[in-house]
Each structure stands twice: as structure tokens, then as C-alpha cells.
Amino acid sequence: MGSPIDENAVTGPNPMLPKEFRVRRVRRETADTFTVEIEATNGDQTQTFAPGQFNMLYAFGVGEIAISICADPQGKSLMHTTRVVGTVTKALGKLRTGDTLGVRGPFGTIWNAGGTGACKSTSQWIERPAHGSGTWVS
């Protein structure tokens, strides 16, 4: 007999269950800061999230950490910019194209700037081809 709980029954996929994601590329922003672009390994390109939300990124065998999503909500991949400050972020900083990690989420309150234009500015910042001085390393 299957589980009495259908994870898609009420609210869609359960954000508490980790999903496997693959690294599309990693960009070095500074010596200790990087952006990782990831996509679902199952081919699902419907990553639903809103400004202000975050994911729990899991480095297999190391641990899990909350990192804000810094991607276009209309896009087909997720991006997270992180600074190496501990064991998990150090492991995430070693990821390269094709590596996998676990992702849970999104979590958090949706950010609404209340007519300040900040959301639009953030979106424009994300879409700029050179929003940082770093380079894609993988």
C-alpha cells in the first residue's frame, strides 16, 4: 500500500522533500564568492519561486544551508550567489559543471517592495550580462 499522503494533492510538490539538481555552470564573483546556476536532473523546467524566497542547498555528505534565490522567476534555471564562510559553502564552492546537489524549497516570504520599483531593478540587475566582475569557471 502506498503512502496516505499524496505530495501533489493540495499545494503541489512538497518543498520539504529534496530534489536532485545538476550544476549548469559556476561563476567566480570574487575570491570567496561564487554564483552557481542549477537545473533539475529530471528535466523539470518549472522552478516556481518569487522574489525574496530561498532554497535549502544540500552538499551531499557535508550538510545543508539556506541560500537566497537570485534568478529570474520566469527563467528555466535557478541561481544562488554564495560566499564561502563554512563547511557547507566551502563544499558548494567546489562544485563544477555536471556535479549534483540536493535542493529543498522554495521557502520564505515573498518580497514585495510596495511600488518602489525595487523588484524591477532587481530583475534588471539579474538580466545584465555582466552584473559582476567575475567569470564563469565551469
Q: Does 3.20.20.370 match the CATH number of domain 19-127?
A: no
Domain boundaries, the chain: 19-127
pLDDT (tens digit per residue) in 44-63: 877 788 888 999 999 999 99
* pTM listed for this prediction: 0.72
Residue 112's pLDDT is 65
Give 114's pLDDT tier (boundaries 50, 70, 90): low
Q: What is the CA radius of gyration of the chain?
A: 16
Give 8's pLDDT tier (boundaries 50, 70, 90): very low
| CB distance 67 to 80 below 8 Å | yes
* Alpha-carbon span 7 to 117, nearest angstrom: 36
